[in-house]
């Protein structure tokens, strides 16, 4: 399994630890940066990770910024991305079970490293249940089509 990872300057320190966490769990990680605390624009990294997931180059994506919110908004602009910000274990689990979320965003200023690892582990280990939720995910996908 391959996961695309990206962060802005606020998320960079947490990203570094989570990349090690992912690699220790056997995930193949593609790190799109940033690689230091120099100020950068989070939409640039959300786009890179979102496009990698949407194109099938990565199975899932992880994005980190100060709150996770800007990354989530930006990533969801990429067709095929279903990004969520999860700050707790239940949200992480349900975003996979019910929404088939393929990009997880978290906030380095709002989530402690140990909790971020737990959230990420639950999110990665949870499968989409399909069933009635499949119909809803298809409706989300239909929203990406232009309406005239």
Reported pTM: 0.96
- Integer Cα distance of 3 and 75 in angstroms: 15
Residue 21, helix vs strand vs coil: helix
Q: Where are the alpha helices (DSSP H) in the chain?
A: 12-24, 42-54, 69-75, 89-97, 113-125, 132-142
Of the candidates 66, 67, 33, the one whose C-alpha atom is nearest the C-alpha of residue 47 is 33
Return the active site residues: 65, 98
* Element (DSSP H or E) covering residue 31: strand 28-31
- Integer Cα distance of 5 and 120 in angstroms: 12
Structural domains present in the chain: 2-142 (3.40.1400.10)
Write the pLDDT tens digit of every residue in 86-98. 999 999 999 999 9
* pLDDT band (50, 70, 90) for residue 146: confident
């Amino acid at each position: 399994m391959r996961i695309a990872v990206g962060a802005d300057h606020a998320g960079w320190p947490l990203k570094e630890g989570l990349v090690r966490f992912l690699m220790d769990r056997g995930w193949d990680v593609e790190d799109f940066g940033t690689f230091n605390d120099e100020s950068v624009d989070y939409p640039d990294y959300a786009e890179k990770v979102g496009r990698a997931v949407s194109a099938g180059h990565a199975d899932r994506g992880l994005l980190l910024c100060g709150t996770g919110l800007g990354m989530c908004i930006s990533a969801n602009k990429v067709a095929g991305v279903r990004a969520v910000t999860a700050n707790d274990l239940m949200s992480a689990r349900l975003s996979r079970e019910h929404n088939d979320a393929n990009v997880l965003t978290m906030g380095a200023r709002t989530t402690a490293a140990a909790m971020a690892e737990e959230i990420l582990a639950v999110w990665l280990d949870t499968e989409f249940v399909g069933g009635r939720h499949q119909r809803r995910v298809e409706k989300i996908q239909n929203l990406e089509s232009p309406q005239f």
